[in-house]
Amino acid sequence: MARYLILLMDSLPPPPPQSLPALPVDLPARLFARTRELIDLDSTTGREAQVGELLFTRLAEIAPPGDVVKIPVDAERFNLFARWGTPQVVLSTHMDCVPPFFPSEETEDEIRGRGACDAKGILAAMIGAIEALLADGKTGFGLLIVVAEETDSVGADAANRWVQTTDLRPRVLINGEPTENQLALGSNGTLFYRLEAEGRAAHSAYPELGTSAIDALLAAIERMRKVALPSDSILGGTTINVGKIEGGRAANVIADFCAAEILVRTVGPTATLRKDLEAAFTEGGGVRIARKSETPALRLGSLPGFPTTVVKFTTDVPRLTAWGEPFLLGPGTIHVAHTGEERIAKAELVAAVELYRRLVERLL
What is the torsional sign of CA 184, 360, 86, 77? positive
- Classified as helix, coil or strand, 174 is strand
Pairing of strands 110-112, 105-106: antiparallel
The answer to whether residues 216 and 273 touch, using CB atoms and an 8 Å cutoff, is: no
| Residue count (the chain) | 364
d(CA 220, CA 169): 47
Among 132, 130, 165, smallest CA distance to 145 is for 130
Alpha-helical runs (H) found in 75-120: none
- Cα(205)–Cα(290) distance, rounded to whole angstroms? 31
Catalytic residue among 131, 149, 354, 361, which? Answer: 149
Question: How many whole angstroms separate alpha carbon 180 and alpha carbon 121?
Answer: 12
The per-residue DSSP string of 170-184 comes to -SEEEE---STTSEE
Q: Is 149 assigned a catalytic role? A: yes
CA-to-CA dists, residue 192 to 45, 155, 240, 263, angstroms:
19, 19, 10, 5
| Torsion region of 285: left, alpha or beta (phi above 0 gives left; psi -120 to 50 gives alpha) | left
Q: Which amino acid is at 360?
A: V
CA pair distance 117, 169, nearest whole angstrom = 29
How far apart are the C-alpha atoms of 4 and 104, rounded to whole Å? 20
> What number of CA atoms fall less than 13 Å from residue 13's CA on the CB side?
15
Closest CA to 257 of 268, 240, 245: 245
Residues belonging to the active site: 149
